[in-house]
Amino acid sequence: MNIEGRRNFLKKVAVGSAGLLATQSIEGLNTVSAASISKKSEVRKTNSDLTNKMFETPGILKGMPIKATFLDEISWDIPHQNWGVKEWDRDFMAMKNMGINTVVMIRAGLGSWIASPFECILKTEDVFYPPVDLVEMFLTLADKHELAFYFGMYDSGKYWIEGSFQKEIDLNMRLIDEVWNKYGHHSSFQGWYLSQEISRRTKNMSKIYAEVGKHAKAISNNLPTMVSPYIHGVKTDQVMSGDNALSVKEHEEEWDEILYSVKGAVDILAFQDGQVNYNELFSYLQVNKKLADRYGMKCWTNIESFDRDMPIRFLPIKWEKLLLKLEAARKAGMENAITFEFSHFMSPNSAYSQAEYLYNRYKEHFKMK
C-alpha cells in the first residue's frame, strides 16, 4: 500500500472509531439520564409521602384552640399592611377556616388617627379625617362570615396619661352613643372592648373601665364588655428598665383590688400572656381564673402570636412557644383564647412569610383542613 492509500485508510479508521465512541457515549448518557430521572422520581414520591405527623414527639402538648383575634389596623407598634376590602375579605375567610368566631377591633383610634369619621372626635380632637370607614367594613365582613364583632374604644394617648381620666371617659361615652346609633343594626355587633391597657402602675385607670363599661352595656341592651390588661412581669418594658416584677401573690392582691372596683362593668377578663416567662405562665393564669371567678367574669387568655424574645419587634412566634402557651391556658381552665393578632402573625395572607407557616402548623395540630 502506497503512502497516500495508507493515509486514507487511517482516516477511515479514525472516523469510524470516533463514530463508535460517540454512539457509545450517547447510549451511556441516555442510560445515566434514565437512571437519574428514575431516582428523582423515587425521591419525589418519597417526599410526597412525608408528613409532619411522622416526626411528632410522643409527648407533644395538646393545647387549646384560639377562637378570637384582635384587629389592629389603628396600630401602635406594628406595620400596616395597607389592605382593602378584598384583602380583608380573604383574611376573614382564613380566620373562619382556622376556627375563629370573634373579631375585636382593638381601638377606634389612637391620638391623631381614627378608624372612621366619628363626628364626636372630629369636633373636639386634633385628628386626621380617615379615607375609609373601617368600622363599617369590618362589620360588613363580620356579617358576611358570621363572626361576632367587638368595638374598641378611642385612646387619646394623652388625657389618661396626664391623669385627666374624666376627659377620656366623657369622650368615649359620646363615642359609644354615636357608634351604637350608627352601627348597632349590624347583626355581628356583639360586644365592646375597653381599649386602655393597664397594669399596676396605671391602676387608677380602672375608673375608665368602670364608667365606660357600664355606659356601653346600658346603651346596648347589656352587650358584654372585655378588657385585656397585662401582667407586670419580667418582660414588661418597665421591668426591663429597672422596675420590679410582681410575684404571683402580689399580682393576685393588686388585681383583686382593681377588679373589685369594676364590678358590673367588665364581663370578660383576658390578660395578655407575653410579659412573663414560659415556666411561670401557668401560675399567673391560675390566679387570673381565680380572680375572674370571684367577680363573676369570664376568663379568657390573650395569646400573643408574636415573639417577645426576639431582638426585633415584632415577628411571628415560634410554633413551639405558641403551643406551650396554649397548653398552659388549657391546663389553667381558660374559657377562651384570643390572639394578638391573627392578620400579622398567623395569617396566610400576612406580609410576614413565617405567619403562613405558623397558620399551617396550627391547623395541622388541631386537625383542620
Compute the distance between CA of residue 284 and CA of residue 276 in angstroms, rounded to an integer. Answer: 9
Q: Do 190 and 80 fall into the same domain? A: yes
Contact indicator for 154, 108 with CB cutoff of 8 Å? yes
Is the pLDDT assigned to residue 15 strictly greater than 50? no
Residue in 296, 207, 277, 265 with CA at minimum distance from that of residue 236? 277
Has residue 57 been placed in a domain?
no
* Structural domain contains residue 311: yes
Assess if residue 274 is contained within a domain: yes
209 domain residue, yes or no: yes
pLDDT of residue 94: 98
Q: Which three cell numbers mark 296?
A: 363573676
Strand-pairing partners, residue 230, are 272
Of 34-38, 100-104, 214-218, 219-223, the least confident: 34-38
Q: What is the domain count for the chain?
A: 2
Q: Are residues 99 and 198 in the same domain?
A: yes
Please tell me whether residues 257 and 179 are part of one structural domain.
Answer: yes
Task: Specify the residue for cell string 395578655.
Answer: 272
Average pLDDT over residues 276-296: 97
Contact assessment for residue 357 and residue 92, using Cβ atoms and an 8 Å cutoff? no
Q: How far apart are alpha carbons 346 and 336 in whole angstroms?
A: 18
Q: Is 292 exposed, middle or buried (0-12, 13-18, 19+ CB in 10 A)?
A: buried
Residues 253, 191: one domain?
A: yes
- In this structure, the answer to whether residues 101 and 250 fall within a common structural domain is yes
Indicate if 210 and 304 belong to the same structural domain: yes
- Residues of the domain holding 356: 68-365
Q: Does 59 map to a domain? A: no
178 shares its domain with 259: yes
- Total-model pTM: 0.86
Contacts of 111 (CB under 8 A, 6+ apart): 127, 155, 156, 157, 158
For helices 134-145 and 165-183, give the axis angle rounded to 10 degrees: 50
Q: Does 262 fall in a domain? A: yes
| CA 204/CA 106 separation, integer angstroms | 21
Compute the distance between CA of residue 148 and CA of residue 144 in angstroms, rounded to an integer.
Answer: 11
37, 86: one domain: no
Task: For residue range 76-115, list pLDDT tens digits in order.
Answer: 889 999 999 999 999 999 999 999 999 999 999 999 999 9
Instruction: Compute the average pLDDT of residues 292-321.
Output: 96
Measured between alpha carbons, how far is 289 from 272 in angstroms, rounded to an integer?
A: 13
Q: Is there a domain that residue 312 lies in? A: yes
Instruction: Write the pLDDT tens digit of every residue in 33-49.
Output: 555 555 555 555 566 78
Residues 47 and 78 in one domain: no
- Do 139 and 277 lie in a common domain? yes
* 187 and 330, same domain (yes or no): yes
Burial category of 135 from C-beta neighbours within 10 Å (exposed 0-12, middle 13-18, buried 19 and up): buried
Indicate the Cα dihedral angle 338, 235, 154, 162, nearest 10°: 160
In this prediction, residue 196 has a pLDDT band, given cuts at 50, 70 and 90, of confident
Q: How confident is the model at residue 69 (pLDDT cuts 50, 70, 90)?
A: very high
CA torsion sign for 215, 219, 220, 221 is: positive
- Looking at residue 169, its pLDDT comes to 96
**Taking CA 280 as the corner, what is the angle to CA 66 and CA 300, rounded to the nearest 5 degrees?**
30
Q: What is the mean pLDDT of the chain?
A: 89
CATH of the domain at 263: 3.20.20.80
Same domain, 75 and 15: no
User: Is 118 within the bounds of a domain?
Assistant: yes
